[in-house]
Chains A and B, each alone.
Chain A
């Protein structure tokens, strides 16, 4: 089973602050990585699908980068808003395997 780490486990930021967190995974045999956003009392929703080293994806104030050679992906949120409060899950995938979800980073944005 793929070992997936996310850091930090949780963080609190003030409204308007920018923030970022990390997903780490074994770099060998990499195939793809997904980011999901999971709001409390709701279901996870897909944010990004990333496959190529150097990929950068953006959706509004949220963006993500991928480094498959060193085995990490960063998720950035610019100008955090209270509605960004959620748990952010990464899920890398190796060739021929299923996605493995990381434990998530819980973000709280304080007004």
Chain B
């Protein structure tokens, strides 16, 4: 079983819909992250959390929200999806400490029509 699991793996939806992407981990890591990847660009940080109920904005948080109610789960919501949020989304986790490598889920491919 994967240590970092993202659901769904693929989603197609319409503009204006509310979408939730889920991430769960069995690694026991305190830190969790949401990134999006667009062609030609690097992974860009949307939100991150260092502990339960700790929420921090990343580089591109507008239009997104997150929830961290348990150590193992970190969900990303698009309140009203728009086409330019079409992207590949990754969840990652890391151990505490500033210099720990990140462990990624398999990604969620989201298409907004």
Residues of B within 8 A of A (CB): 4, 33, 35, 40-45, 48, 58-59, 90, 98-107
Question: A86 to B41, alpha carbons, bound, how many Å?
Answer: 15
Tally of A-B residue pairs with Cβ under 8 A? 49
Residues of A within 8 A of B (CB): 1, 4, 31-32, 34, 42-46, 49, 51, 89, 91, 93, 98-104
Q: Are B42 and A98 in contact (CB under 8 A)?
A: no
B105 to chain A, nearest CB (A): 6
A42-B106, A43-B90, A43-B106 given; A31·B99 CB < 8 A: yes
Of B41, B48, B59, B102, the contact of A1 (CB 8 Å cutoff)? B59
Q: Are A102 and B42 in contact (CB under 8 A)?
A: yes
A98-B45, A101-B43 given; A46·B98 CB < 8 A: no
Question: Which chain A positions have C-beta within 8 A of B98?
Answer: 31-32, 93
Question: Which chain A positions have C-beta within 8 A of B105?
Answer: 43
Q: Are B99 and A103 in contact (CB under 8 A)?
A: no
Nearest to A97 among chain B residues (CB) is: B98
Q: Are A34 and B106 in contact (CB under 8 A)?
A: no
In the complex, given contacts A31-B98, A32-B99, what are 9 additional A-B residue pairs having Cβ atoms less than 8 angstroms apart? A34-B101, A34-B102, A43-B106, A46-B102, A49-B99, A98-B33, A100-B42, A101-B43, A103-B42
